[in-house]
Structure 1
Amino acid sequence: MPEQEIGSSMEAPDTPAVQDVAAAAASLRAEIARLDLPLDDVIDHAKIAYETAIPEATVRKLFAGEPVSHEDLNQSFWERLKFLRETRRRPDGKVYTTSEIATEVGASKEMIAKLLSGERKAGLDLSASLETFFGVDAGFFTISGGQALLAALAPTAQRVELLSLLRGRDVQGVAARGGLTDGSDRLTEALRAEIAGRTHVGDPDISEIAMTVRSLPAGRRSSVLGTIKSVLGLVKSED
């Protein structure tokens, strides 16, 4: 389904795309609660907002179970561009001037000014140049808010899933849902503690964990093993 232009008629909070995001947030929130971890220690609302351009207030509403609209989740091109200019600043802390941006992306100062005011919308090539200039992933300007949110949440969802696995919980529902949240120090500490408590020689839990991991589909097994290695510090950093 093509992404709708932001600024069109207001959509109700129960549209399918919004429902999917709300359901994902609710499922993750419930799993975090079952793990007895404070939600704010696991979900970094400010970081999610920084990565997605979704207002932090909207992210907090989602994880509080409050309704949000299509417009809440999806910022327009010029809103995302203004957000990048405000949050990705020069080394001296000042925002980039329109002249500086124009020079780096190969556009006129007037064009950048019109993009920032919402008078014009960039084509694919200029959008890609702006994404490179501000150091964000390709597609930042075109991805839907829901997709951006789930992508930003994916790393922590894997940690939540692994911790559930280590504690003997049923994680089939979590595995089926796919990526949902970004990592946190508190969650990583909980994982390390759980793994450390199960690594005694002769501990039958090790066999149980191994059997459970082997029973996962190949794709999920690879992802879980990668997370385990990362948590244990077994993944070598690239030079």
Structure 2
Amino acid sequence: MLDAHTSLAEVRERLEELTGRPGGLAEVLDVGGLSFRTGIPADVVAVLLAGGTVPETSLSDRVRQRLDFVRETRRRPDGKRYALDELARIAGTSRQWLSEWRRSGLPSLEHADRIRRHFDLPAGFFTADETEALHTALQPVLQEYEAKADPLAPLRTPAFYRLARRAPHMSPRKLRALAEWAEMVTEQNPAGDDDF
């Protein structure tokens, strides 16, 4: 199994290839968005995107930093910060316990998971090291760039291959009808307009 640094390097290299920006991913990708999804400070995200390394953070420091990050970046519906009492309620614990968690950096898994789920954070949000967290957050970004680079990729499925193998045996009229149908179903429609 590859280590997180190697995996991140591979994703970074592929993104550099797809974007045409070797060493310049921080200029192309949404560093703030990656920071928001990972709990990693934006400057650390930029360093990692550039291929740099960052000092390893202890697990307790990571957990503490990510809890503070959640508190700073996630807002109540009224736009205000969550108070510790509110976060404690979300976690299903007391304010005193949450304060201890912030001090020690060692939450119970159940309480950390309740906060993670409440804020729709990725699995491992509190515990993944910076490299792992960024690697995970870059997966959908990579998929998006891959799809843009190869728009036919979604058509490379067994069902489409079976259809293509039938083409030599189809009449010109049927081939035209199939092409028209393909045009119809692949044309860009307004969001939510998937009716035939």
Alignment TM-score, normalising by the size of structure 1: 0.56
Q: Could you tell me how far 1:104 is from its partner in structure 2?
A: 3.0
Match of 1:142 among 122, 127, 130: 127
In structure 2, the CA distance between the partners of 1:16 and 1:132, relative to structure 1 (3 Å rule), is closer
Bigger relative contact order (CA 8 A; separation at least 6): 2
8 Å CA contact 1:61–1:68 kept in 2: the answer is yes
| Aligned pairs (5 A) from 1:1-239 | 16-33=3-20, 39=25, 42-71=28-57, 76-117=62-103, 119-166=104-151, 209=152, 213-214=155-156, 232-233=188-189, 236=192
Provide closer, same or farther for how the CA distance between residues 103 and 40 of structure 1 changes in structure 2, counting only shifts above 3 A: closer
Q: Please state how far the C-alpha of 1:20 moved relative to its aligned partner.
A: 2.9
Question: How many angstroms apart in 2 are the aligned matches of 1:233 and 1:114?
Answer: 52
RMSD: 3.8
Give the TM-score normalised by the residue count of structure 2: 0.66
- Structure possessing the higher radius of gyration over alpha carbons: 2
Contact conserved, 1:22 with 1:62, CA < 8 A, in 2?
Answer: no
Amino acid at match of 1:63: L
**Which whole-Å deviations, capped at 9, do the CAs of 1:179-227 have from their partners, x for residues lacking one?**
xxxxxxxxxxxxxxxxxxxxxxxxxxxxxx58x953x7x6xx9xxxxxx
Q: What one-letter code is carried by the residue in structure 2 that aligns with 1:27?
A: R
Q: Could you list the runs of 5+ residues in structure 2 that have no partner in the other structure? A: 162-184
